[in-house]
Amino acid sequence: MPVEESIKRLRDAIISCDKELALEATREIIDKGIDPIEAFEKGLVEGARVVGDKFDRLEIFLTELIEVADVMKACTDLLMSQIPKGRVPKKGTVVIGTVKGDIHEIGKNIVASLLSANGFDVHDLGADVPAEKFIEEADKVGADIIAVSALMTSTIGGQKDVIDYLKATGKRKKFYVMVGGGPTTREWAEQIGADGYAETAMEAVKVALDLIQKRRSS
């Protein structure tokens, strides 16, 4: 089977969320000595893009999306085990969570799954996360982006608290901050000085990719 066909098989397995087939295709790619980075970009990431678009149109739902993210992770781990550490491609590292006082997680889970499926290293802190915890974790894992979710008009201020805490600790320039969630608007994001805002989960992936690009080019 030619290289393109093997990679297409992996991509199609991701799109159809077939874990067994995806792992089998990944093993085949490794056995054939196909470049793991090419397989990652053209197979896994491309498959995840199609899955994200399907979720945007609600042709698939959150459960399927999370399953795809899990399959992606398993296949990525297999592929990356073939690459020397220094050459492992990484889209970027994101620390994500819902603000202090807010117990809603579903929107944040969607963004985390899509980021993960698109090759980001995602550290999910869950819900009701204090401002300092976001920063402590971002420092610990060497994050590029802190993604802060809020679902209530009464808790949205927690997003500003994260940015204020970064400023107060002299770390504002160290991380990009993205905000999102039900009550969040572009105007609000601009008002509090966030670096990125997205209304939908797929848009969040694009914003994160743009921020990483910006970081690399600067």
Partner 1 sequence: MVNLLDVVDRALTGKACFEKEYDLNIFSSKLREVVKEYDIKYDPDTPVPSDDSLADDVFKAALDFYREVGTYCTDTGRIIKFDEDEIKEGLKTAPSELTFGEGVDAKTLIPRKPESKTPPWCFLGAGGAPVSSEEIFLKLVEGYASIPLANSITTPALTSVRGMRIRPGTPLEILGTIRNVVLAREALRRAGRPGLPIMNALATATRAVSLITALHPDYGLRRTDGYLIGIIAELKTNFDLLNKVCALQSLGYGGICAESGPIYGGYCGGPEGTAVATVASHLMGVLVYRAGWYLSFPIHINYGSNSTPELLWVTSVSAQAISRNTHLLSLHLNYTAAGPCTEMCLYEIAAQRLAAIPSGVSGIESLGTGKATHEDYLTPMEPRFAAEVAHAVVGMKREDANEIVKAILPKYIDNIAAPPVGLKYQECYDVKTGEPSKRCLEVYSKVKRELEDLGLEFKC
CB of 111 to partner 1, least distance (A): 12
Contacts of 205 by beta carbon, 8 Å cutoff, 6+ apart: 52, 111, 114, 115, 118
Single residue of 12, 89, 157, 206 touching partner 1 by CB under 8 A: 157
Residue whose pair of structure tokens reads 């579903």 in the numeric block: 106
Count other C-beta atoms under 10 Å from residue 30's C-beta.
15
Is 61 a binding residue for partner 1 by CB under 8 A? The answer is: yes
What three-state secondary structure class fits 102?
coil
CB of 99 to partner 1, least distance (A): 9
Determine contact, residues 160/192, Cβ cutoff 8 Å. Answer: yes
Is 158 a binding residue for partner 1 by CB under 8 A? The answer is: yes
Is 155 a binding residue for partner 1 by CB under 8 A? The answer is: yes
Q: Which two tokens stand for residue 210?
A: 């743009």
Is 114 a binding residue for partner 1 by CB under 8 A? The answer is: no
**With CB under 8 A as the contact rule, which of the stretches 16-24, 26-34, 158-166, 167-175 interacts with partner 1?**
158-166
**With CB under 8 A as the contact rule, which of the stretches 13-21, 29-37, 63-71, 111-119 interacts with partner 1?**
63-71
Is 160 a binding residue for partner 1 by CB under 8 A? The answer is: yes
The two beta strands, 145-149 and 120-124, are: unpaired
**Farthest CA pair distance, the chain:** 57
Contact residues toward partner 1 (CB under 8 A) are 55-56, 58, 61-63, 66-67, 100-104, 106-107, 110, 152-155, 157-158, 160-161, 182-185, 200
